[in-house]
Structure 1
Amino acid sequence: MSNTMRASYLLKQGEVAVKEISIPELAADEVLVKVAAVGVCGSDVHYYQHGKIGPYIVEQPLILGHELSGTITAVGSAVDASRVGQRVAVEPQRPCRDCEQCNAGRYNLCPNIEFYATPPIDGAFAEFVKIQSDFAFEIPDHVSFEAAALVEPLSVCIWAARRAEITTGSRVLIAGAGPIGVIMAQVASAFGASEVIITDIAEDRRDFALKHGATRAMDPRTENVEGLAVNAFVDASGVAQAVYSGIKAVGPAGHVLLVGLGTEDMNLPVSHIQNNEIWVTGVFRYANTWPTGIELVASGKVNLDVLVTHKFGLDDVESALNAGKQPGSMKVIVNPGS
């Protein structure tokens, strides 16, 4: 096996190039994964277009991509060699496992966490990556590599559903029928929601959501969601007006989960929140979600393959980062080995 590999780098804002680099060396508790599929996330596109997200600034060449799957090809000295050859979905982060947040089980809030494709940590638009062994989760043979890669955005939705206390009989409103919104609709249904309402200004996306998890779709330009008295509202749009109206749609003791990336400051209906004791919180990644995500996909309760609309090779990462602009685009996949 060669000791080098190819990787696609974001050199600077708007500029991508493939480089030949060394294959990562493994620590004792790590495995080497030959990358099969990587989903393109909105954060990847944002880094490509703007060179930064909030306080995270691309100051040196960076490998993007954090939604991934592949096959274990080598293991560190402390890892069972029988793992070689396993097909895996990768949880793309490395918490310190020793801070207050990690010890409380909230390792997604670890202040020292290293997360793929978040400067300065490289991501997965590469032929190989390394990860701690317990963050590489074996997948059944009938689960595609594309679906396994998308367990990452699925995990965001599982985390949101848990925090929103979605359960049997819940009525749920979701703003935004993009990939996260559609996956959220499927997760809400899998968690037992009796009604899953989704809003989007695009008719084709509303129609798609109705086929894949939503029980009702609304056009926010012509239909008012306020007063629906749902148990939970999940924003997957980042649009300030959608957040405001969504909160007004929540009934007493309900939950509001902010998932979408929008403006840093928004006006909120504070009196509605106070008078109805509504819980309003954000979602920052996830913790302990991969086993549940893999089970949902393997059992058919969540269909991630249906989201994939475009596939590109490693030499075409720039095209992959721009594919979201194409009509009908939902989820874009990079296959580094193709």
Structure 2
Amino acid sequence: MLEPLAVAVYSCRRAEVGPGTPVLVLGAGPIGLVAILTARAMGAGPICVTDINESRLQFAKELGAHYTVNVLGHSAKEAADEILSVMPDPPAALLECSGADSSYQIAILVGAPRSILVTVGRGKPEVTLPINLVTVKEMDIRGIFRYANCYPVALSLVACGRVDVRPLITHRFMLRQVEDAFHAAKEGVAIKVMIRVQQENFSKAAQDQAAPALV
């Protein structure tokens, strides 16, 4: 869990998230969800989250999102209008975590003047953006690729209790259920899947064979 959390730490740093920063997280997948936790730990608020999956949005609320907007079937303009109707102020930090074309467009439509849009998700290599609006608002668009020098911070956030990543592990399987685990991950019913390996279940011969690899 520290690896995706480090991505969120780097993303929030790139977006200059701080105390009282209004934040919009676009996409409530695993990265979007840890972005909520990280933004909260940095004192941001309010935090709004968008997605097309209502159960993911409900989960985001349980993690501390103040507002959620289901953008399924909405145009970018319709989604932007709904976001601005629920947030007290336009977001100053925008974390695009889905990679969807419409999410980039929504972010630019709702971003406050001189807001920062960080492209975290991986989508199409080319997208169409309302670039004139970026110019008028003097917005910054910043990219990230994984993270840089953020792993110690992520570890500290968990160690001191400011971030609890345990709720994101929604499904647990034994090693013999590995096929079920991958199906749960593929079908989107899980946030994070944990596969538990119990060495005591191995035969003595298997333990002896595995021993050199464990050293």
> TM-score per shorter chain, which class?
0.7 to 0.9
Q: Which residue of 1 aligns with 2:153?
A: 292
Q: Which residue of 1 aligns with 2:3?
A: 152
Describe the SS at the equivalent of 1:173. strand
2:91 counterpart (230, 233, 255): 230
Higher strand share: 1
Distance 2:114 2:130 in 1: 15
Q: Which residue of 2 aligns with 1:334?
A: 195
Distance 2:91 2:8 in 1: 18
Q: Are the equivalent residues in 2 in contact too, given 1:233–1:249 (CA < 8 A)?
A: no
Describe the SS at the equivalent of 1:237. coil
1:163 counterpart (1, 6, 14): 14
Distance 1:179 1:273 in 2: 28
Share of identical aligned residues, percent?
35
What residue ranges of structure 1 are gaps of 5+ in the alignment?
A: 1-149
Letter in 2 for 1:244: Q
The two structures have a TM-score, normalised by structure 2, of 0.80
Shift of residue 290 of structure 1? Answer: 1.6
Shift of residue 320 of structure 1? Answer: 3.2
Q: Which residue of 2 aligns with 1:219?
A: 70
What residue ranges of structure 2 are gaps of 5+ in the alignment?
A: 85-89, 200-215
Q: Which residue of 2 aligns with 1:133?
A: none
Q: Are the equivalent residues in 2 in contact too, given 1:173–1:198 (CA < 8 A)?
A: yes
Shift of residue 225 of structure 1? Answer: 2.4
Distance 1:202 1:210 in 2: 13
Distance 2:32 2:129 in 1: 21
2:164 counterpart (303, 314, 318): 303
For residues 93-129 of structure 1, the C-alpha deviation after alignment (integer angstroms, 9 at most, x for no partner) is: xxxxxxxxxxxxxxxxxxxxxxxxxxxxxxxxxxxxx
For residues 46-89 of structure 1, the C-alpha deviation after alignment (integer angstroms, 9 at most, x for no partner) is: xxxxxxxxxxxxxxxxxxxxxxxxxxxxxxxxxxxxxxxxxxxx
1:254 counterpart (115, 119, 123): 115
Describe the SS at the equivalent of 2:115. strand
For residues 177-236 of structure 1, the C-alpha deviation after alignment (integer angstroms, 9 at most, x for no partner) is: 121111111111111112100011221111110110211111113562257421011111
Distance 2:103 2:24 in 1: 11
Distance 1:300 1:213 in 2: 15
Give the aligned CA root-mean-square deviation in angstroms.
Answer: 2.0
For residues 272-311 of structure 1, the C-alpha deviation after alignment (integer angstroms, 9 at most, x for no partner) is: 1111111112210111112211121122221111011223
Distance 2:117 2:146 in 1: 16
Give 1:66-215 correspondences, 5 Å limit: 150-215=1-66
Q: Which residue of 1 aligns with 2:182?
A: 321
Distance 1:327 1:159 in 2: 25
Letter in 2 for 1:225: A
Point out the more displaced range, 309-318 or 213-222: 309-318
Q: Which residue of 1 aligns with 2:205?
A: none
Describe the SS at the equivalent of 1:301. coil
Distance 1:262 1:327 in 2: 18
Higher helix share: 2
Distance 1:336 1:165 in 2: 40
Point out the more displaced range, 313-322 or 264-273: 313-322
Describe the SS at the equivalent of 1:253. coil
Letter in 1 for 2:118: L
Q: Which residue of 2 aligns with 1:3?
A: none
Letter in 2 for 1:293: A
The alignment status of 1:242 with 2:97, answered yes or no, reads no
Distance 1:322 1:272, change over 3 A: same
